[in-house]
Amino acid sequence: MYQYPSILRARRSWVRRFAFAILTVPLAACASGAGLPEPRPLVVHSGARIHPDRTRMAEIDRWVTEELTNIREDPTFWIISAPQEDPSLPWEGLEISSDSARIAYQASSPDVGSIYQIYAHLHLMVALDRQAEWLPEAPEATGFLLEKAILKRASDAWLYGRSVWAFIPDPVLDELTYSTEEGYLDAYILTARPDEFKDARAQWLAANEGGFESYQDWFRETFDRPPPGLRVAQQSGS
């Protein structure tokens, strides 16, 4: 199958970093964490840190390897990468049509390309009725729960890339991953996309009194800015 040059360029950075582990380390060894570089903590300018667990990183290595191999070798679909000048949240540049998915990401942050491809791949697998194969933890999820499961995978893949393979920090994916690791993935999604998941947002707010304010306070303390979904309103003075 013909591969778009942009797909190959986007994938090259990721594959180059951990191809040795894929080719030389038995799957059983990966499952115990043997053969992977020692995970390093993530840190942002505020000093907030994440300390990845080696066993967990080995499990992520397993499914990331399977997914990137499928993206590269499965002839039944296309993932089309579209590098662009400006940053974008994963869902903002996603288009699915028939057996293909197009995903946009910031060209100056090439390491994010593989993460955005994984995000697009999972959405395309849902569209192609292969959800249970690639999202076994959420085989029948729809709506907000489906998006949460897919973003959790994207977050895990970024944590793995940053901690094991020294991916260059990226503000968009660092925000997602820190929010996920701190237990704020629901708040992150429902703040960034309030109109898309109105019912889920209303239910979450009712069940988590003060949760929205707690998330905002934590996010500002960690990143010194409001979270996605609130920045435009703040900048416009509303």
DSSP calls for 124-193: HHHHTT-HHHH-TTSTT--HHHHHHHHHHHHHHHHHHHHHHS-PPP-HHHHHHHHHHHTT-HHHHHHHH-
Alpha carbon distances (Å) from 168 to 20, 110, 234: 19, 9, 28
For residues 223 and 12, which has the higher predicted lDDT (pLDDT)?
223
Q: For residue 78, what are the β-bridge partners?
A: 100
Query: In angstroms, rounded to a whole number, what is the distance separating the alpha carbons of residues 5 and 68?
Result: 16
Each residue of 140-184: pLDDT tens digit? 999 999 999 999 999 999 999 999 999 999 999 999 999 999 999
Confidence of residue 13 (pLDDT cuts 50, 70, 90): very low
Q: Is 90 exceeded by the pLDDT of residue 237?
A: no
Each residue of 19-71: pLDDT tens digit? 333 332 333 334 345 578 899 999 999 999 999 999 999 999 999 999 999 99
Which has the closest alpha carbon to 110: 60, 62, 149, 165?
165
Confidence of residue 117 (pLDDT cuts 50, 70, 90): very high
Query: In angstroms, rounded to a whole number, what is the distance separating the alpha carbons of residues 144 and 122?
Result: 14
Confidence of residue 110 (pLDDT cuts 50, 70, 90): confident
Rounded mean pLDDT of 88-103?
Answer: 96
Each residue of 182-230: pLDDT tens digit? 999 999 999 999 999 999 999 999 999 999 999 999 999 999 999 999 9
Structural domain boundaries in the chain: 5-168, 182-238
Confidence of residue 119 (pLDDT cuts 50, 70, 90): very high
Amino acid 27: pLDDT: 31
